[in-house]
Structure 1
């Protein structure tokens, strides 16, 4: 298992479009993925519904946890997606 803390930086936070992009990218990998919020709530990183229940806004700190055969690649790709602000200006 590998984990990384990251901050949501896009203006609108983790709304529908970023959540869908995140889930699409996560599902490219075989590893299990968990997303944990600052409050300790945990979501399946491959479930859009789960992610949306976290209510992540700009500035939220989250921990991504990947576990599986391609965990490093999975974590790196998702961290890059978040750091790119999901392509938002």
Structure 2
């Protein structure tokens, strides 16, 4: 399963507006997408509550995984959102 490891650079981490953009982008895809904080349990990247519950802060690593057609392109887009958020 393709994956991307990303360090979240935003001062607010992956919260509120950045999390909403991340989830909206993941939800547009018709494939399974998960995100995990560090080596933690992966959660559904299409669920705003699950993503917010990860409590990702500035400087922390997340691992985004997707499986299916277009997974690499989607992972690149989600990684860019998470890194720049």
Same-fold call, TM cutoff 0.5: yes
1:79 and 2:79 matched: yes
Tell me how many residue pairs correspond in the alignment: 85
Q: What is residue 33 of structure 1 aligned with on the other side? A: 33
CA deviation profile, 1:5-61 (whole Å, cap 9, x unmatched): 110100111111111000111112112111011251321101000001100000110
Name stretches of at least 5 consecutive residues in structure 1 with no aligned partner. none
1:14 is matched with: 14
TM normalised by structure 1 equals 0.87
What is the CA RMSD across the aligned residues, in angstroms?
A: 1.2
Q: Which runs of 4+ in 1 moved over 2 A?
A: none
The equivalent of 1:43 in structure 2 is 43
TM-score (norm 2): 0.91
